Structure 1
Amino acid sequence: MFNIKKCLIFILLPLFLIGCGGENEEQLPQEIVAINAQDLLTFAPIKNTQVVDLRNKVTAENNQSLIIESVESIDNKCSFNENDIEGLTFKVTTTDSENVCRFKYNVKPASSQYKGTSEAIVQVVVTKDYTRGDFLPPVSRTVIEGGLLTLNSKDLLIESGFEIDPTSVYLIGDTGSSDIGMIAGVDASSIKYQAPAATTGTVRIFYTEIDSIKNIARPGIIYIAIGQESNHSPIALDQRIDALDRREVDIPIDISSYISDPDGDDIQLIDTKSITGRVIIDSPHSFLYTPGSSGKEVITYIVSDHNGGYGIGLLTFDVNEYKSIVDSVQNLTFTPPLTFNQLSVIDGVYTDSYKELGFTGYTGLYPTFSKDLAEAYCKTKGMKLASLAELKAMRTNVLADMPIFQTDYRWHSGIKYLTHDANAISLETGSTASVSDGYFSCTNDLTAHGWEFLDPYYSGLFNTPTKIYITSKTAGDSIFLPDDDYNLTYKFEALSVDGILIDPTLASTYLSVSISGNTITVTKKSNAYAIAATLEISDIIAPSTKTKLILGVSLCPLSVTPPVADELSCILVLHPRKGYDASGTEAFSTALSNNMLTILGMKEKQIHSLGSKQVGKGVTKFQTIRWGDKDTTYSTRKNWLEKLKLVCDAMSKLKVDGRDNWVVGADNIKPQRGTATRVAFLIPSPEYYPAKDFVEWMWKQDGRTEYVGNYGLGYANADPKVTTYVNQSTTTTTFLQQSAFVPETYTFPSCWSKN
């Protein structure tokens, strides 16, 4: 008998499968989206449940929604439950002692129609005083494929009384082969990193410094770029830039004037990392930054030449609740009003609070103060409470009598500002009245404390604007001079054209200079010449300091001789191979000519004070001393180190060979006893010919009257009391550690970099 119920079930089953997406349904392919996850640093009290919020740290192509895919505790120092993951947040429970807890997280698209993933690190700093959280400045280094990098406490900026927590060290990164190398060793005072062979990329090493007596822990991070040995890596300068407003969003930051490539390759910004804010790359040479909190900020940016070379630079700046106001007419600075966030950091007291509703200040509660309390705060800053006349004049001179919340300063102003006088003033309307409490601003005469240039050197590129900064420490923090108040002037201090130092007063024949505010652009009038120049920059508002702008100095190709290096205004750098006394990460410059010393800031009198002997002819000459000679006095060696320091400092600022730690003498030369020489290291074969050419050229120019080995390249000892030094063995790839047993060898001006 026919069963209609069974028949109906069989008829409806295929329809049910089709409707539910059965095996016959044609699945749509998932669309791949690019995702960027940023490291997060947050601070939390002990014995506390902390919500970790990643919403401002992750972005996706086309603004696709993201969710956490996984969270993994790296060190198990804080407890974590996977059930607490919700969207882009998760919870951690902190311990009863100060430490740094680290988690690795992955995010993915919220919609199953898309796929993609990205991972980053969360650092939770557990501290009793979590409102004053601090961190170590990031450290950046470059290393070649297969290289061993050793960083000691000084390199890692470990503070006095602190040491490295060996259990805290964690390696993460991205390379072409997915091999990120390994931590080759770690102890309380150093970290060793072994780079992978035959691959390039970037890695990060997280670590913690601890003071076990005071129970303090602070996080640190090392950024390492792994580049090809056969390729010059691009240069990414470290730069201090103007303070930013915490409430601004998507602030454009352009790095064009900070990057260059020795080989002329096109450079692209490939990664950015922020300590506290959010960054989004929006072009090959720029990114957008949104602050996460006020205080110190460091952004690490990484560029690539897409030929196996990487450069890492650091941008350092402050994020302020508000900007200070500088009134150049009165020559006064005015500090912004305090917020509850700032009071929590200093355990500050207040009289009452006022609620701003968004019309005269950002919506929220703000502290108010009595006049006595306001005067006390100003006094602790070494300042005074602003007078009624000063605030009135500032409102006219700077604010053009506009409500302050409608200006770029955006100070909250719903109630009046207390003054040194009987009446308070509204920075909203300009009206005055007697009040018992209110907001306040401290002020001081800028002339008393003085303005000064932020840096002694600036590295510039021809035809590209360079920003120069002037600051004052008046309010306890650095206040940057407003752009409109700069009155920069310049003079050419040194000028090299095709390797010949010429009268700097003739610079206008080859270069033009334009200045707008704090921006200087030096333009070549013709590309027919190889030009290097040094400009001395001054400003009448900072009469006691000056700065230098250096342009045109580059890294030499391996085909140069001393005259060609002078003609190109370039510096040739040699790299000891791993073995003997070398770790494989050191570098040193070949002999620096008098021309190069001049471009890098030395005066003629300083150059000639280095030593009585000079090697070379024509326009290319080199000062020398015989470091190991018994007739070379301690004071002569000390003078050598002191005078050349400014040259090596300039090389660090220029980031020659991608390095920012150039010094005059090496601190790793071992004591030499009983023998005249021993092998220190070998240089790689490609560097043999230029090194040989340098030695032979100087030997020939000096008349070949001495042994050719006396003219070998090398460098001095960092300790002027020690006569041991490093010198090339004639014209070979071998470099020797020599002592007073070999007194006749010349030492030329050179800078050395440990890593």
Structure 2
Amino acid sequence: MKFNSTYFIYIMLIFSLFGCKEQEASNENTDGGNEIEAITYYAQDTLRKTSLSKTYNVDLSENVDSSDGSKPVIVSVRSLSSSPSCNVLSVNSKGFQIDARNSKSCTYEYSVGSATTLSKMRAKDASISAMSGVSLGVATATVLVGDSSELLKPISATTTVDDSVDIFIKTELAQYGDEIGVGFTLDENSLVLPNASVTGSSASASVGDDSITYTPGLGFSGVERILYSYTDGISVLTGSIDVSVSTTVNTAPNAEYFYYLYGDGTQPVPYGETIEIDVKDYISDDDGDTLQLIDVFAYDATLSIPTDFNSNGNNFDDTVFTFSSNNPGRHSITYVVSDNKGGFATGVIELNIAGVYKKIILTSSDPVLIFAPPYTIEQAESAGIKYSEGKVGDGIDSLTGVSTATHDWDTANAICVAKGGSLPSIESMTLLYEEYVSGGLFSNHNWPVDLAYWTSSTISAGSHQEIDMKSGLGSSTLDSQVRYVSCTVDGIVDVEVLGADAITVTEGTPSITEVYQLKGTFASGASEIIPNDQILWDTFTNPAELAKFDENVGALTSFPQSPEVTGTSTLTGCTADGICDTKIVYLQSLICGGIDSSTRFNADRACIKINTVPGTTTLVTGALSVSFYNKLESLTSSVGGKYVYYDDKEQGNYYRFQTRYDEFVSLCNRYNQIELAGRTNWSADPQGRIDYQLRDALLGAYNNPALGSGDMWERYGWPTGALYIYGQSGSSNRNSSRVDMATGEDSSFFGSLGYGISYSSCYSAN
């Protein structure tokens, strides 16, 4: 494995000095003068957790590598934390030892190189800095000591050259829906700026308001990382803040949060697989500058940014990085972009790494088959399942260093019954083999193939058939023998987050709470709502003050701000198997009271009424108020052909349009520009056509099976003082087709001048 990641700091002009944690060691052959091939050493940033004890040994042997395959050794370790309790007690070739008697978060910088380098250092009793001509792989190890410990989500902050910035930790974490537990206090002594000696920057903590003040070094521009922690005396929480320090000569770029999903957009990232992630769609620059991805950071992962990935000959516009990890569970990645003009921005990506083995969905079979994987010995031990320890993986037919549990037939059968499934038949396992022949089960899914798998098929009493997944051959085996176990189950193969697309956050309106659910679709085709206590939610709200998500009930509650403050909440719901879906909820002050709001006397504000068509995902808009049009025009551009009309029922001023229908199309396009209700497909047919879809949307909103039909003013507060037009026909387009949203009547109007005056409406059919 290769470990390639850049360090915490990106300094203009001297970037190359600090841009990477892989270094080359070049040795000269003094006999013949021939240069020996350079060896590159790799070190991986890592996070370790341990409970309270006398000491803790940090083994880094799985976090280092070299280009020639030789095993590097730990050359040096130094504490970056100011607390004396973080001092290093001892260092060996594989790692180091620390005191672990009190709760804390400590960060260390470690260097890796060859055993020869280490020997030279010891012989000369020299430090790394004192030895010339020695290059090493350098990374960090953060150790959390406590009865319990947690890594907090990363925070991004911005400032400009020579300007301090206050970062309020609890407010920033609220974007993720995270809270600091009662009893935890910000540890003033925990602050670490790994590169303060180079940048001249400083940071101080204010316990009273849970804030950190960062002051960049004189003239520094780039991105600098701050590490901090909380403790309650026995447990510890730790987090990081990446501060973008940009020049004032241009506008800094923007980098957004997103959740990465693998494969068809629902899956976790496979264990150990190297993937490519492109941030292009999540970065922007108000000045129109070309942006470059310059760094990525994550714990216990292998990351790199390929040079000129798009093969266009430009090394300063790449936006793709590679990622892999052998650490199952959730990961947060911080990425950094630059406009190469002194502007920087950081964003956060979240993803989930699948377990060592994951379920296999065989879509080529009829019906679709889902195969649950065998247990590792750790999983079997944790579940209290009887097992025999399988071979330790050799990397050829099984994962290196991984031992998979084996079971006798009776235990294997009981395991599958407990999972709500069954042992697969020899026919089912043969189908799986035919999909992944000649060991493909290992090369494609990591499943071990160095031992046969049990089946439910039997030939004689006391024995069942096994199948060799390298050859596909089956044979009869005594039930007392131990083999690997896979089960066929009817599991969830797809999920969808259900809930409102948008929530109104107009100032002066009450808070709105929307409940979100995760619908799971099974291999059998059946679907059901997954209980909320079985859902793993990941959320991010920007800005944080607009809404808060309660993962305990799956509810998003808005907190209206000023009309200028709008944003989004990104909700990702996952099953225990890591099958996920993401929904972006738009928090905007543009919808009167929210979609399907029954509030009256508010449609004349700077918002618009929107209703759903029951039984569909189609949305349809009410009339355009003067106040909302003024806001729309300020966000986009003007629309002609309209006249002010006072609606007696709604008691407000609205625009009626001439039946020159092209004006309506322009209006719908404006809705798309502002992504009204989070959508960009608002439409109405152009002049001279009857838009039956718009008619059906209007009548559908009027006729709600759950609530009955009735005056849209009485039920929803729609302006109904004029009719809603949905098309034109006849000579010179003089016949106008319209719907009365007070009565539900569908009628035509003949205008001698080729136009009448009507309310407008647009629909969006997803």
- When the two structures are superposed, what TM-score results if normalisation uses the length of structure 2? 0.50
Q: Distance in 1 between matches of 2:323 and 2:247?
A: 31
Q: Distance in 1 between matches of 2:183 and 2:64?
A: 30
Q: Does structure 2 conserve the Cα–Cα contact (< 8 Å) formed by 1:388 and 1:425?
A: no
Q: Distance in 1 between matches of 2:455 and 2:626?
A: 62
SS at match of 1:153: helix
Q: Does 1:281 align with 2:305?
A: yes
- Per the alignment, residue 366 of structure 1 pairs with 404
Q: Does structure 1 conserve the Cα–Cα contact (< 8 Å) formed by 2:44 and 2:300?
A: no
Q: Does 1:80 align with 2:98?
A: no
Query: For residues 309 and 368 of structure 1, do their structure 2 counterparts lie closer, same or farther at Cα, with a shift above 3 Å needed?
Result: same
Q: By how many angstroms is 1:289 displaced?
A: 3.4
* Structural RMSD (CA): 5.2
Q: Does 1:205 align with 2:226?
A: yes
Q: Distance in 1 between matches of 2:214 and 2:443?
A: 53
Query: For residues 76 and 341 of structure 1, do their structure 2 counterparts lie closer, same or farther at Cα, with a shift above 3 Å needed?
Result: farther
Q: Does structure 2 conserve the Cα–Cα contact (< 8 Å) formed by 1:254 and 1:285?
A: yes
Q: Does 1:43 align with 2:49?
A: yes
Q: Does structure 2 conserve the Cα–Cα contact (< 8 Å) formed by 1:60 and 1:66?
A: no
Q: By how many angstroms is 1:375 displaced?
A: 5.3
Q: Give CA-to-partner distance per residue, 1:63-96, whole Å, 9 cap, x none.
A: 99896455125123345235x254xx44123423
1:210-225 → structure 2 map (5 Å cutoff)? 210=231, 215-225=234-244
Query: For residues 307 and 272 of structure 1, do their structure 2 counterparts lie closer, same or farther at Cα, with a shift above 3 Å needed?
Result: same
Q: How many residues align?
A: 463
Q: Distance in 2 between matches of 1:57 and 1:363?
A: 16
- Per the alignment, residue 192 of structure 2 pairs with 171
- Per the alignment, residue 447 of structure 2 pairs with 411
Q: Distance in 2 between matches of 1:260 and 1:194?
A: 25
1:287-686 → structure 2 map (5 Å cutoff)? 287-319=321-353, 320-328=355-363, 329=365, 330-343=367-380, 346=382, 348-355=384-391, 359-362=396-399, 364=401, 365-371=403-409, 373-374=411-412, 377-378=415-416, 383-388=420-425, 391-392=428-429, 394-395=431-432, 398-399=435-436, 401-405=437-441, 407-419=443-455, 422=458, 423-426=464-467, 427-430=469-472, 431-434=474-477, 435-436=479-480, 437-446=482-491, 450-452=494-496, 605=620, 614-615=629-630, 620=637
Q: By how many angstroms is 1:368 displaced?
A: 1.3
SS at match of 2:156: strand
SS at match of 2:429: helix
Q: Does 1:95 align with 2:100?
A: yes
Q: Does structure 2 conserve the Cα–Cα contact (< 8 Å) formed by 1:174 and 1:202?
A: no
- Per the alignment, residue 752 of structure 1 pairs with none
Q: By how many angstroms is 1:123 displaced?
A: 1.1
Query: For residues 105 and 405 of structure 1, do their structure 2 counterparts lie closer, same or farther at Cα, with a shift above 3 Å needed?
Result: same
- When the two structures are superposed, what TM-score results if normalisation uses the length of structure 1? 0.50
Partner amino acid for 2:88? Answer: F
Q: Distance in 1 between matches of 2:278 and 2:630?
A: 44
Q: Does structure 2 conserve the Cα–Cα contact (< 8 Å) formed by 1:270 and 1:302?
A: yes
Query: For residues 612 and 270 of structure 1, do their structure 2 counterparts lie closer, same or farther at Cα, with a shift above 3 Å needed?
Result: closer
Q: Does structure 1 conserve the Cα–Cα contact (< 8 Å) formed by 2:606 and 2:629?
A: no
Identity %: 21
Q: By how many angstroms is 1:327 displaced?
A: 1.3
Q: By how many angstroms is 1:357 displaced?
A: 5.2
Q: Distance in 2 between matches of 1:316 and 1:454?
A: 21
Q: Name which of structure 1's ranges 309-318 and 68-77 shifts more when overlaid on structure 2.
A: 68-77
Q: Distance in 1 between matches of 2:255 and 2:66?
A: 25
Q: Does 1:53 align with 2:97?
A: no
Matching residue within 131, 148, 158 for 1:142:
158
Q: Give CA-to-partner distance per residue, 1:613-654, whole Å, 9 cap, x none.
A: 6426877479xxxxxxxx99xxxxxxxxxx9xx979969xxx
Q: Does structure 2 conserve the Cα–Cα contact (< 8 Å) formed by 1:416 and 1:439?
A: yes
Q: Distance in 1 between matches of 2:622 and 2:67?
A: 56
Partner amino acid for 1:433? Answer: S
Q: Give CA-to-partner distance per residue, 1:240-284, whole Å, 9 cap, x none.
A: 132344344x65544444434332323222222121123233324
Q: Does 1:236 align with 2:270?
A: no
Q: Does structure 1 conserve the Cα–Cα contact (< 8 Å) formed by 2:452 and 2:484?
A: yes
Q: Distance in 2 between matches of 1:169 and 1:368?
A: 46
Q: Give CA-to-partner distance per residue, 1:460-488, whole Å, 9 cap, x none.
A: xxxxxxxxxx996989xxxxxxxxxxxxx
Q: Name which of structure 1's ranges 97-106 and 55-64 shifts more when overlaid on structure 2.
A: 55-64
Query: For residues 181 and 126 of structure 1, do their structure 2 counterparts lie closer, same or farther at Cα, with a shift above 3 Å needed?
Result: closer
Q: Distance in 1 between matches of 2:247 and 2:44?
A: 26
Q: By how many angstroms is 1:306 displaced?
A: 1.7
SS at match of 1:307: coil
SS at match of 2:108: strand
Partner amino acid for 2:78? Answer: V
Q: Does structure 2 conserve the Cα–Cα contact (< 8 Å) formed by 1:208 and 1:217?
A: yes
Query: For residues 204 and 192 of structure 1, do their structure 2 counterparts lie closer, same or farther at Cα, with a shift above 3 Å needed?
Result: same
Q: Distance in 1 between matches of 2:438 and 2:253?
A: 47
Query: For residues 73 and 141 of structure 1, do their structure 2 counterparts lie closer, same or farther at Cα, with a shift above 3 Å needed?
Result: closer
Q: By how many angstroms is 1:41 displaced?
A: 0.8
Q: Does structure 1 conserve the Cα–Cα contact (< 8 Å) formed by 2:105 and 2:190?
A: no
Partner amino acid for 1:241? Answer: L
Q: Distance in 2 between matches of 1:34 and 1:141?
A: 34
SS at match of 2:106: strand
Q: Which consecutive unaligned segments of at least 5 residues does structure 1 have?
A: 1-31, 458-469, 476-544, 554-590, 623-630, 633-642, 652-755
Matching residue within 251, 271, 294 for 1:246:
271
Q: Give CA-to-partner distance per residue, 1:364-412, whole Å, 9 cap, x none.
A: 53211345544555566x542342167336415632x443445411311
Q: Distance in 2 between matches of 1:177 and 1:247?
A: 35
Q: Give CA-to-partner distance per residue, 1:501-522, whole Å, 9 cap, x none.
A: xxxxxxxxxxxxxxxxxxxxxx
Q: By how many angstroms is 1:308 displaced?
A: 1.8
Partner amino acid for 1:204? Answer: R
Partner amino acid for 1:234? Answer: P
Q: Does structure 1 conserve the Cα–Cα contact (< 8 Å) formed by 2:57 and 2:98?
A: yes
Q: By how many angstroms is 1:607 displaced?
A: 7.4
Q: Give CA-to-partner distance per residue, 1:288-308, whole Å, 9 cap, x none.
A: 434243333222221211222
Query: For residues 592 and 142 of structure 1, do their structure 2 counterparts lie closer, same or farther at Cα, with a shift above 3 Å needed?
Result: farther
Q: Distance in 1 between matches of 2:111 and 2:677?
A: 41
Q: Distance in 2 between matches of 1:241 and 1:124?
A: 29
SS at match of 2:454: coil
Q: Does structure 2 conserve the Cα–Cα contact (< 8 Å) formed by 1:143 and 1:195?
A: no
Q: Does structure 1 conserve the Cα–Cα contact (< 8 Å) formed by 2:75 and 2:113?
A: yes
SS at match of 1:408: helix
Query: For residues 138 and 416 of structure 1, do their structure 2 counterparts lie closer, same or farther at Cα, with a shift above 3 Å needed?
Result: same
Q: Distance in 2 between matches of 1:323 and 1:343?
A: 15
Partner amino acid for 2:167? Answer: T
Partner amino acid for 1:413? Answer: V
Q: Give CA-to-partner distance per residue, 1:429-451, whole Å, 9 cap, x none.
A: 3314343332222343246x743
Matching residue within 288, 292, 299 for 1:268:
292
Q: Does structure 2 conserve the Cα–Cα contact (< 8 Å) formed by 1:136 and 1:219?
A: yes
Q: Distance in 2 between matches of 1:90 and 1:453?
A: 44
Q: Distance in 1 between matches of 2:276 and 2:519?
A: 22
Q: Give CA-to-partner distance per residue, 1:522-541, whole Å, 9 cap, x none.
A: xxxxxxxxxxxxxxxxxxxx
Q: Does structure 2 conserve the Cα–Cα contact (< 8 Å) formed by 1:302 and 1:312?
A: yes
Q: Does structure 1 conserve the Cα–Cα contact (< 8 Å) formed by 2:64 and 2:112?
A: no
Q: Does 1:126 align with 2:145?
A: yes
Q: Distance in 2 between matches of 1:210 and 1:203?
A: 24
Q: Does structure 2 conserve the Cα–Cα contact (< 8 Å) formed by 1:94 and 1:126?
A: no
Q: By how many angstroms is 1:606 displaced?
A: 5.7
Q: By how many angstroms is 1:174 displaced?
A: 5.3
